[in-house]
Amino acid sequence: MGLLGVRDIDRLTSDRLVLREWRQSDADALAGMLDDAEVMHDWGGVLSREESDKKLFRYNQAIAEFGFGRWLVERRTGEFLGYCGVMPGFPGHPLGEHFEIGWRFVRNAWGHGYATEAARTAIDDVFRRVGLTEVLSYTTAENNRSRAVMGRLSLVRDASRDFVGGIDPQSRWQGLVWVASRETFERRSS
């Protein structure tokens, strides 16, 4: 369905990557990635298969509803690498209504620039095709890999929006916030 006036698509592409809608056949790859303690370290631990399947459903639901979301990321050869994309903040989020770029990749995909390339593609899409004017990104102080990606994307740190919270009301996850504005992002990406 997508946002009013947004042309629905089922994939985005970049030089090396395809960002596409999820298929049920992708469930095992996602569950395997989310069951890797090193990959999930910043999240506080691995996810069960049931939790992973709920993520897959939520990601596809967002793509169907908004015309964008967390896309599956694969090499052009079809090899699963992880996910990346823009999602609406969940109801009751400490930051209120917003859109957030996020990513997670299998360990053997780390260090190749895939997260930066996928995130740049996804942000560019929601600014150009969807018409969003701002996208947030957040992570913990200890997640140096994601912070490095945010730097390569030229996102701007906004400490005034830092928050404590998470999906679980009892969560004490501490989020540091970066911002991509359409104007700044398009200027820096060209």
Percent of the chain with pLDDT over 90: 77
Contact between residue 124 and residue 189 where contact means Cβ atoms under 8 Å apart: yes
- Looking up tokens 């679980």 gives 168
45-to-16, 37, 60 alpha-carbon distances in Å? 30, 6, 23
* Residue 2 included in any domain: no
Q: Count structural domains, the chain.
A: 1
The residue-averaged pLDDT of 72-93 equals 95
The C-alpha atoms of residue 105 and residue 111 are separated, in whole angstroms, by: 10
**Quick check: 55 and 102 in contact, CB under 8 A?**
no
18 CB contacts (<8 Å, ≥6 apart)?
A: 11, 12, 73, 74, 75, 76
Query: Residue 55 and residue 113: Cα distance in Å, rounded?
Result: 24
Nearest Cα residue to 154 out of 125, 185, 190: 185
Q: Is there a domain that residue 76 lies in?
A: yes
Q: Give the global pTM.
A: 0.90
Token pair of 88, please? 């609406």
Instruction: Lowest mean pLDDT of 51-55, 68-72, 181-185, name the range.
Output: 181-185
Would residue 106 count as lying in a domain?
yes
Q: Are strands 70-75 and 134-139 parallel, antiparallel or unpaired?
A: unpaired
Alpha helices in 67-152 (DSSP H): 114-125, 144-152
Per-residue pLDDT at 2 exceeds 60 = no
Query: How far is residue 7's CA from residue 66's CA, in Å, rounded to a whole number?
Result: 10
Domain assignment present for 181? yes
Q: What CATH number is associated with residue 95?
A: 3.40.630.30
List pLDDT tens digits, range 146-160. Answer: 999 999 999 999 999
Ramachandran category for residue 154: left, alpha or beta (phi over 0 → left; psi -120 to 50 → alpha)? left
């939790």: which residue's tokens? Answer: 51
In a domain, 4, yes or no: no
5 domain residue, yes or no: no
For residue 89, give its domain range: 11-189
Nearest to 123 by CA among 96, 104, 95, 103: 103
Say if 1 falls within a structural domain.
Answer: no
Q: Rounded mean pLDDT of the chain?
A: 91
| pLDDT tens per residue across span 98-132 | 999 999 999 999 999 999 999 999 999 999 999 99
